[in-house]
Amino acid sequence: MLTLIQFYLLAPLMHAAAVARHLSRDLLRCWPLLAGLLFGACAPAQAQVNDAKFISHSLPATMYVGKGYPASVTLQNTGTSTWQMATHSLGSQNPTDNAVWGMGRVPLDLATVAPGQQYTFQFTAFAPDTPGSYNFQWKMVQDGLEWFGEQSPNLTVSVGLPPPVNDAAFVEQNTPATMVAGQTYNLYIKMRNTGTTTWSAGEQYLLGAPNPQDNTSWLPQRVMLTASVKPTGEGFFYFPVTAPSVPGTYDVQWRMLREFHEWFGAYSTNVPVVVTAPPTVNAAEFVGQTVTANMSPGQEYTVSVTMRNTGNTTWTTAGNYRLGAQNPQDNQTWGTDRMQLASAVAPGQQGVFSFQAKAPSAAGVYNFQWRMVQDFVEWFGSATPNLSVTVGTTLTVSRTPSPMVAGRPYTVTWSSPTATAVSYQCTASGTGYAGSSATLAPSGEANGTALQAWVGNPSTCTWTATGPGGTKTVTETMTTSSTQEAITYFHNDTSGTPVVATDASGSMVWKETYRPYGEKIDRWPGSGDNKIGYHGKPFDDNTGLSYMGARYYDPVLGRFTGIDPAAVDEANIHSFNRYAFANNNPYKFTDPDGRNPVAIIVVGARLMGVGLAANEMVTGDVPVVGGTAAKAGLSAAERLAANRVSGKVGEAGTRADLGNTAIGEQITVILSNNKRAVVDFFTRINGKLGVVETKVGGARLSKNQAQLEQDIANKVQVTPVGKKADDAGLIPGQPVTVETFKIDRRTTK
C-alpha cells in the first residue's frame, strides 16, 4: 500500500503532464486532498467550480451587411472560482466557436470577476457580408479546460442590404476671386460620390447652386453630368457662368442634388467673388442709311443713318457723342461734318441721325461715309458703307424685250431724277422706227407693239436729259426680230401640277407654287399665259376655277362646285361628302376626272402624260394646249420627293405585313460610331428585338443604315432616343441588343 501511494505521490512530480492527460477532472480536483493526506495536512482544500448565469443581452434584430453594431451580454459568476482576464472569456455558440460576428471570443476587461459578481461584455458585432438570418448566442469558457454555465438565449438576426444612399464629398474647384460684371467665365468643380447610388444624367443627378438655394446670381442654376459616376468615383463639371450685371460681392457655392428628390452631400467651399464694373467701352455698328444716289448741284436732300450702340456707354449730346464725316475725315462735302443725336442711345439700342444734306455746287461723284465719334475722346465703331453719290444730271433708258419681237408688245422706261426735262430723237435705216419727243417727264415709261417693217432695220435713238446739273445724253440702238414659235417645257410635281417652265435654252420662264388644295400663292409674271394649273388641269384666271373633267373645282375652298356624278361608295367614307376633293387628303390623292379619287403614286405619268411615277421618269416632249409642249425632265428635288412618296407607300405595305409584331416606327438610334440612323420599324417577336427597313425597287441602304446592319451583326448594342422610342416601350438613352436586321424589298408596280 505504501508503495502504491508513493507511486501516486511521485507521479505528479515527475510526470504531471502525462497524469493530467489521463486522470479525470474529478481526480484532479481531489489531488489537493490526497496530497494533504500524504503529507500530513490537517484538512482537505475546497474544490473551485466554474459556473455562470445569464442575466441579459442586447443586439439589433436587423442589420446591414458589413456594418458594425454595439452588442452586450451580461452574466453572473455563480461558481466558486474567480474569473481571470487571462483564462476566462465569452465564447460564441450555435455553432461553437463560430466567427459570424467578426470574433469567436470576447475577453474580460476586468482583471477578475469574483463569485456572485455580474459582468457585462461589451463589444462591436460586425454583420456578415452576405444577407440572411444568423444566430447570436454566447457562453462562458475557460479555454483549455471547459465551457461552463448557462448559454445566452439564441437571437435570430436578419442581415440585409442597406438602402441606397445619396452622398457626396467636395474635392476641388477653380473659381476666380474677381470677375467683371456681365462677362462669362469657365468654372471647374470636382465632387466625389461617397454614397451607394450611381449618379447619372438620366436619373437627373445635377450640380446645383445652394447659397442661397436655387439662386439666379450665377447662371446656369444646374449643371449636367457628362458621364455617370459610380460610388467612390469622381464627377467633373466644366461649365460657363455669367457674372451678375450689378457690381458687388457674391457667394459661389455648389452642391449635388437629384432633381425632384433631394439635395445631398457636402457643399463646395464657398468663394466670395468680387464682381467689378466693366471698363468703359465705346462701340458701334452700322444698321442702315437712306441717301439719294443722284442729286442736283446746290440742292438739299433729307438723309438718315442708323447706328447701333454695341458698347457699354450711353450716347448723349452732353457726352459729345455724334456721327462724324469720313472719307476724308471731317470733310464738309454735304454742308456739315457732324450729325447730332436726336436723343440718348443706351447700349443695345439704335440711334437714327437725320439731317438736310446740301449737294456740292459742282457736278461730279462724291463720297458719302460716316462714323461714330466722341469728340475730344475718340472715333469708334465701324464706318458706314461708302456711297458714291452722283451730283449732276443722270439718265438711264431700258427697253423690254430687247430686241423687240414683231407683233409683240414692248415697254421702254427712262429715268433722270435730277433733270427737268427728257427728250429723244430716233433715226431709222430703211423702214425702221423714226420719231421724236421733246416733252417727256424726267421719269416714265411708254408701251407699244413692234412692227414687222422694223425687222432688219435698226433705229438709233438719242435721249437727252437737261436740268440744273447740266445735260446728259444716252444713245440707244433699237432692233426688232421676227416672230418665232416658242416652245415651253413644263416641269411637274408628282401629282402632275406644273411648278416650273423653261424655254428651249433651259432658262427658267416662270415658276408657280401652290397650297395643298391647289390655290396659287406665288406666280412669276411670265406665268400669266399659262392655262395649265393644279394637277395639270385647265385653269381659268377670271373665275379662279379648275376644270377637272366631270365638274369644276375651287382650289381656294378645296371643294368641287357641283355634286359628284359618281355613286356613293360605301367602302369609302369620304364619298358621302358629295363635294369633297381627293378624299380630303391632297397630299396622297388626286381626282383626275372629277369623279374618282386615286392615289398620287398611281397617277404618276398618266396625268397629262408628264407626271412622275414613284420610281420611274417619263422623258421627251409631250404636246399640250396652245402649241406649247411639256417636258418631263425633273429636278433633283422632284426626284427626292418622288422617292419619299414611294417610300411611304412601301412602308405602308411593310406595316400591314408586320401587324402586331411592330412596336414602333421611325425611331432614331445612336450607332457605335456615334452617328444616328432612323429605323423604319422595330419589332418584338418572342421577346427579341428586331429591325425592319423598307426599300422600294432597287433602293439601297444609306451609309448609317449599313452601319446599323453591321452593329447588329456584330452584337453591338444601339441606343434608341426620342419620344418615339418611349412610345415603343423602349427606354430613351438605354442601349438595347437587337437580334435581327431585315430588309423588306417592295415594288410599286
pLDDT confidence of residue 489: 86
Average pLDDT over residues 347-359: 95
pTM of the model: 0.35
Average pLDDT over residues 338-367: 94
For 22-137, strand residue ranges (E) read 52-58, 62-64, 68-77, 83-84, 88-92, 105-107, 112-113, 118-126, 132-136
Q: Is 345 a residue whose pLDDT tops 90?
A: yes
Strands 52-58 and 68-77: antiparallel
Residue 186, burial from CB neighbour count under 10 angstroms (0-12, 13-18, 19+): exposed
- E strand or H helix that includes residue 399: strand 396-400
Residues contacting 515, CB < 8 A, separation 6+: 521, 555
Q: Is 638 a residue whose pLDDT tops 60?
A: no
- If one counts every other C-beta atom within 10 angstroms of the C-beta of residue 372, the result is 29
Residue 232 backbone class (left: φ over 0; alpha: ψ -120 to 50; beta: rest): left
**Binning pLDDT at 50, 70 and 90, where does residue 268 land?**
very high
Which of 112-126, 298-312, 565-579 shows the lowest per-residue confidence on average (mean pLDDT)?
565-579
Q: Is 704 a residue whose pLDDT tops 60?
A: yes
Q: Is 654 a residue whose pLDDT tops 70?
A: yes
Per-residue three-class SS string for 626-638: HHCEEECCCCHHH
Q: Which amino acid is at 615?
A: N
Q: Which three cell numbers stand for residue 99?
A: 466567427
Find the angle CA(136)-CA(140)-CA(142) to the nearest 5 degrees. 135
**Binning pLDDT at 50, 70 and 90, where does residue 100 land?**
very high
Decide if 459 contacts 476 (C-beta within 8 A).
Answer: no
Question: Whose CA is closest to 547, among 591, 577, 492, 503?
Answer: 591
Percent of the chain having pLDDT more than 90?
57
Average pLDDT over residues 440-445: 91
Which of 411-415, 622-626, 652-656 shows the lowest per-residue confidence on average (mean pLDDT)?
622-626
Instruction: List, for residues 319-344, the tens digit of each pLDDT value.
Output: 999 999 999 999 999 999 999 999 99
Decide if 256 contacts 166 (C-beta within 8 A).
Answer: yes
Average pLDDT over residues 409-417: 92
What is the overall mean pLDDT for the chain? 85
- E strand or H helix that includes residue 650: helix 636-658
pLDDT confidence of residue 477: 93
715 or 618: which leads in pLDDT:
715
Instruction: List, for residues 681-696, the tens digit of each pLDDT value.
Output: 999 998 899 999 998 8
Residues contacting 637, CB < 8 A, separation 6+: none
Residues contacting 182, CB < 8 A, separation 6+: 242, 243, 245, 278, 312
Instruction: List, for residues 443-453, the tens digit of each pLDDT value.
Output: 999 999 999 89
Q: At what angle do helices 25-39 and 2-22 cross, to 10 degrees?
A: 150
Average pLDDT over residues 291-311: 93
**Cα distance between residue 26 and residue 460, in whole Å:** 153
Rg (CA), the chain: 51
Decide if 112 contacts 82 (C-beta within 8 A).
Answer: yes
pLDDT confidence of residue 506: 83
Domains along the sequence of the chain with CATH: 2-39 (no CATH), 52-160 (2.60.40.10), 168-276 (2.60.40.10), 284-391 (2.60.40.10), 396-481 (2.60.40.10), 489-634 (no CATH), 650-746 (no CATH)
Q: Is 578 a residue whose pLDDT tops 90?
A: no
Q: Is 124 a residue whose pLDDT tops 50?
A: yes
β-pair partners for 289: 305
654 or 132: which leads in pLDDT:
132
Question: Whose CA is closest to 140, among 115, 164, 171?
Answer: 115
CA-CA distances (angstroms) from residue 167 to 72, 192, 193, 230, 237?
Answer: 31, 9, 6, 12, 17
Average pLDDT over residues 370-385: 96
Question: Whose CA is closest to 189, among 170, 168, 209, 167?
Answer: 170
Decide if 265 contacts 191 (C-beta within 8 A).
Answer: yes
Q: Is 611 a residue whose pLDDT tops 70?
A: no
Instruction: List, for residues 198-219, the tens digit of each pLDDT value.
Output: 999 999 999 999 988 888 888 7
**Cα distance between residue 721 and residue 736, in whole Å:** 11
Decide if 447 contacts 411 (C-beta within 8 A).
Answer: yes
**Binning pLDDT at 50, 70 and 90, where does residue 484 land?**
low
- If one counts every other C-beta atom within 10 angstroms of the C-beta of residue 246, the result is 11
Q: Is 605 a residue whose pLDDT tops 70?
A: no
Q: Is 173 a residue whose pLDDT tops 80?
A: yes
Average pLDDT over residues 270-293: 94
- If one counts every other C-beta atom within 10 angstroms of the C-beta of residue 180, the result is 15
**Cα distance between residue 499 and residue 630, in whole Å:** 12
**Binning pLDDT at 50, 70 and 90, where does residue 461 land?**
very high
Out of 195-209, 549-563, 594-608, 653-667, give the one with best mean pLDDT.
Answer: 195-209
Residue 364 backbone class (left: φ over 0; alpha: ψ -120 to 50; beta: rest): left
Average pLDDT over residues 715-742: 93
Average pLDDT over residues 712-741: 93
Find the angle CA(496)-CA(498)-CA(499) to the nearest 5 degrees. 125
Which of 275-279, 609-613, 741-745 shows the lowest per-residue confidence on average (mean pLDDT)?
609-613
Residue 625, burial from CB neighbour count under 10 angstroms (0-12, 13-18, 19+): exposed
Average pLDDT over residues 706-730: 93
Instruction: List, for residues 39-58, the tens digit of each pLDDT value.
Output: 444 445 568 999 999 999 99
pLDDT confidence of residue 644: 53
Average pLDDT over residues 144-163: 95
pLDDT confidence of residue 5: 32
Average pLDDT over residues 167-194: 95
Instruction: List, for residues 211-266, the tens digit of each pLDDT value.
Output: 888 888 887 889 999 999 999 999 999 999 999 989 999 999 999 999 999 999 99
pLDDT confidence of residue 530: 80
Q: Is 629 a residue whose pLDDT tops 50?
A: no
